[in-house]
Amino acid sequence: MRQHILSLAPYSSARDEYTGKEGIFLDANENPLGSATPENWNRYPDPYQAEIKTKLAPIKGCRPAQIFLGNGSDEPIDLIIRLTCEPKEDNIIILPPTYGMYEVSASVNNIEIQKIPLTSDYQLDTEKIIASINSKTKLIFICSPNNPTGNLIDRKAILEIIKNFQQGIVIIDEAYNDFSDEPSFVPELDHFPNVMVLQTFSKAWGLASLRLGMAFGNEALIKLLNKIKYPYNINGLTQKALLENIGNIDFVKNSVKTLNQNRKILIAELEQLPIVTKIFPSDANFLLVRFKEAKKTFDYLIEQKLIVRDRSKVILCDDSLRISVGTKEENERLIELLKKYQ
Ligand SMILES: Cc1ncc(COP(=O)(O)O)c(C=O)c1O
């Protein structure tokens, strides 16, 4: 941890100083008359989202104090870097091809980035990763299932990194874990004090627009993240929407089932197309697909108003497009267009 953060006094909000719900509130300079919208949003929300965490903990198999909620999981990615890395001094390790925000957040904070590419089958090069750890290495980001490749990272390899990096924190980004059968690291966190897990409500829960991400870790780490976050980082509308629907696990389960089924059908259809040269195995709600002419195919799809993600310039992803699994109709349209292009 950066020393000055350990000793700094955090901002103390009005809702920190009085947590009761009853009373006349003249402490936060809010508008007591109500809001400019039909529904009232005039009161600041709970800065630590206690009710959500109480309901979320049993779903995730952890204690409420092990949960941090952020404005998307992008927020804890940035916060963990700012909490641990001294600009121009410390470094982080990332494993490309992987999710872009680790590099962007580190760069914004002027933190050196060590890139240790995945192997050709998109697994960890454990030996190289461990060899690259130096006294200034604070964080290692592992994404599993990995974006943009879609595959799970071998658990044994992750455990080896955790074991060999006791000086810092291993961040396991499980944004797409709901779509796989792989158990989460969250219920095991008590065994791994140097691990932080990221998950999100943006994927299987279908709540990307609400901007709600989760970080899980030991209580001391979560306290420090809370210390440096913006006071009311999760807005009242988001908290209310989630609290009213957090019991709707059936939606999540059904979405996963449907999308995984759709993924299977999509793979079978893509396999029939001569313009497709490889479909990478996926445990997520997207596929990395190699085409004979990725850029031309991408441009054609855009012309037809079907948008996929061009990853062909990304290391180890030559000629590849990343395709989110859509509804049955959307996937059928994609295949129809690819056949036409062909
Ligand atoms: C691997 C991974 N992590 C984190 C995120 C960020 O998710 P959010 O900020 O919506 O929670 C994404 C988004 O695509 C992602 O792919």
Contact 236, 42 (CB under 8 A): no
Q: Could you report the per-residue pLDDT of 211-257, keeping only the tens digit for each? A: 999 999 999 999 999 999 999 999 999 999 999 999 999 999 999 99
Are both 30 and 136 inside the same structural domain? yes
Residues 34 and 135 in one domain: yes
Choose the final residue of a domain: 221, 247, 273: 247
Same domain, 223 and 260: no
Chunked in runs of 10, what are the mean pLDDT values of the chain (342 residues)?
A: 93 84 93 97 96 98 98 98 98 98 98 98 98 98 98 98 98 98 98 98 98 98 97 97 96 98 98 98 98 98 98 97 98 98 92
> Structure tokens of 233?
């980082």
Residues 296, 213, single domain; the answer is: no
- Please say which residue of 247, 268, 301 terminates a domain: 247
Q: Which atom of ligand 1 is nearest to the CA of 211?
A: 10
Is any atom of ligand 1 closer than 6 Å to the C-beta of 73? yes
Alpha carbon of 74 to ligand 1 centroid (Å): 6
Same domain (yes/no): 80, 209: yes
Which ligand 1 atom is the nearest neighbour of the CA of 71?
9
Backbone angles phi, psi at 195, to 5 degrees: -120, 140
pLDDT given for residue 16 in this prediction: 83
d(CA 254, CA 262): 12
pTM beyond cutoff 0.75: yes
Out of 247, 275, 295, pick the residue that ends a domain.
247
> Which residue, 172, 201, 150, 179, is CA-closest to 309?
150
- Which atom number of ligand 1 is nearest to the Cα of residue 98? 1
Write the single-letter amino acid at 336.
Answer: E
Ligand 1 pocket check for 213: Cβ under 6 Å: yes
CATH number of the domain within which 217 lies: 3.40.640.10
For strand 213-216 and strand 195-200, is the pairing parallel, antiparallel, or unpaired? antiparallel
Average pLDDT over all residues of the chain: 97
Q: Could you list the residue range(s) of the whole structural domain that residue 171 is in?
A: 3-247
C-alpha 189 to ligand 1 mean position (Å): 21
Same-domain pairing of 238 and 274 = no
**254 and 116 belong to one structural domain:** no
Angstrom distance (rounded) from CA 170 to CA 138: 9
Distance 103 CA to ligand 1 centre (A): 13
User: Do 71 and 209 sit in the same domain of this protein?
Assistant: yes
Cβ of 175 closer than 6 Å to ligand 1, yes or no, is: yes
Say how many C-beta atoms besides its own lie within 10 A of residue 203's C-beta. 23
Residues 100, 83: one domain?
Answer: yes
CB atoms under 10 Å from CB of 138, counted, come to: 22
What integer pLDDT is reported at residue 1 of this predicted model?
Answer: 95
Both 77 and 170 in one domain: the answer is yes
What CATH number corresponds to the domain at position 284?
Answer: 3.90.1150.10
Domain count, the chain: 2
Nearest CA to ligand 1 atom 9: 72
The verdict on 61 and 162 lying in the same domain is yes
Q: What is the pLDDT of residue 10?
A: 86
- Sheet containing 91-94: which strands, arranged edge to edge? 67-70, 213-216, 195-200, 169-173, 137-143, 91-94, 112-115
Q: Based on the domain organization, do 132 and 279 belong to the same domain?
A: no
CA 278 to chain centre: 26
